[in-house]
Amino acid sequence: MYLSSNRGPQDAPKLFFKLERLIGLKEGKLYGAFWVETGEYWACVAIKDTEVRGVLGLKKAILPSGLYARSILKGRYRDIVRQIPSVFKEMAISFTPDPKRPSIEHYFRFTEFFLYLPIKTSDNNQ
């Protein structure tokens, strides 16, 4: 389930705060998804169908699968958050991003984030 903004990652803190008020946040189940082409950002929480049903204002979706490059960031929360844009830029130098899928931030722990950059492959070149 997710909340979204068309203003990009700058709205992430506001979206996650609202998500926490609506359903609570669980470490290891939080994701951010950013579509570079459209500027849309999702603050997401992974749920099982039995956990939450019909929470007002939340949309349901499944994050796109496919090939992703991964980078792991560890440290203090504030320091990690500041590094996210530059790490994605570095990854985009080493790999050809797939603009049709979002870059994903997995908030595994408050001191450990996984960043996933969607990679363009010959299968999705069309």
CATH of the domain at 23: 3.20.80.10
**Residue range of the domain that includes 68:** 2-124
Give the pairing type, strands 40-45 and 30-35.
antiparallel
Give this prediction's pTM. 0.87
2-14 residue pLDDT tens: 999 999 999 999 9
The CA-atom distances, in angstroms, between 7 and each of 14, 34, 39, 94 are 11, 10, 6, 27
87-111 residue pLDDT tens: 999 999 999 999 999 999 998 888 9
Q: How many domains does the chain have?
A: 1
> 87-108 burial by CB neighbour count: b if 16+ within 10 A, else e?
bbeebeeeeebbeebbbbbbbb
